[in-house]
Amino acid sequence: MSPRTRPYRQRRPAAAQPDRAASSTGAFFGPHAIGGRPTRAAPRRGGPSRATGRVGMVLPAIASARPPAYPRRMFDVLREVEEALPELLLLRDWHGLRVVYEPPEVERVWRPWGEHRIALHCIHPCEPGAPLFHPHPWPSIVKVLEGSYEMGVGHGPGLVAPPLAMTILAGAGTTYTMTDRDSWHFVRPLDRPSLSLMVTGPPWSREMPRGDHPPQPALAPARMEALLQRFAEQFYPRSR
């Protein structure tokens, strides 16, 4: 058979990485990194990349336990949550938490939603180089609703913070996913607090940095009520 007529032989696909079984740790939705040791973000050189608008940021699927369709599924989950929020924001069975052991300070109002959790965040500005650089113990999707923040991104297994691979500016309307267990990031709001919606999925099995930070304080009832009203009136009114 001549080279011209020899049929093309497809390359055999690489063996898939074995899935690491997900397990609930009982610390499903704690502060920045559940029980995480504070890890400072690397000093930034130069200005952030000016990437605004809808951003679906999926880091390389190195040792990922999720199929390629999972990031797309998180956008579907976000849409379903946003459709439900006008009614959910009328309820008063939400929980409140202040994350203050490391910058930036985060005011969080959250509730379970099926196998997911919904979090409303008010993240406060902090100094350059100060924000916590951390992985997550669960897949997540975030939509920035107001304000903007600088976000640094890295990727690496284990407990040691990886090099900073990318920095973007996430403005109102930016939507991104973090669906690889070895993704790391930090956020630093610019000029004023940033409001955002985050939805997380079931936790996966990942070794997390440990720390001895104290339990974080509850959010004052009046402040939690103010945030619920603001999200309801400004972003998810019942008449939508």
pLDDT digits (tens, 9 = 90+) for 33-68: 333 333 444 444 333 433 334 344 433 433 445 545
The total number of residues shown for the chain amounts to 240
Q: Tell whether 174 is covered by a domain.
A: yes
Q: CA–CA separation, 134 vs 38, rounded Å?
A: 8
Q: CA–CA separation, 109 vs 87, rounded Å?
A: 15
* Total domains, the chain: 1
Look at strands 106-113 and 194-200 and give their pairing.
Answer: unpaired
Q: Tell whether 197 is covered by a domain.
A: yes
**pLDDT digit string (tens) for 5-36?**
333 233 333 343 333 333 322 333 334 433 33
Q: Tell whether 125 is covered by a domain.
A: yes
- The CATH number that applies at residue 137 is 2.60.120.10
Note the pTM of the prediction, 2 decimals.
0.73
**pLDDT digit string (tens) for 64-118?**
455 456 778 999 999 999 999 999 999 999 999 999 989 999 999 999 999 999 9
Query: How sure is the predictor about 206, in pLDDT bands with cuts at 50, 70 and 90?
Result: confident
Instruction: Name the residue among 196, 177, 193 with its Cα closest to residue 120.
Output: 196
Q: Tell whether 239 is covered by a domain.
A: no
Q: CA–CA separation, 76 vs 78, rounded Å?
A: 5
Q: Tell whether 221 is covered by a domain.
A: yes
Q: Tell whether 36 is covered by a domain.
A: no
List the domain range (segments joined by +) for residue 107.
70-234
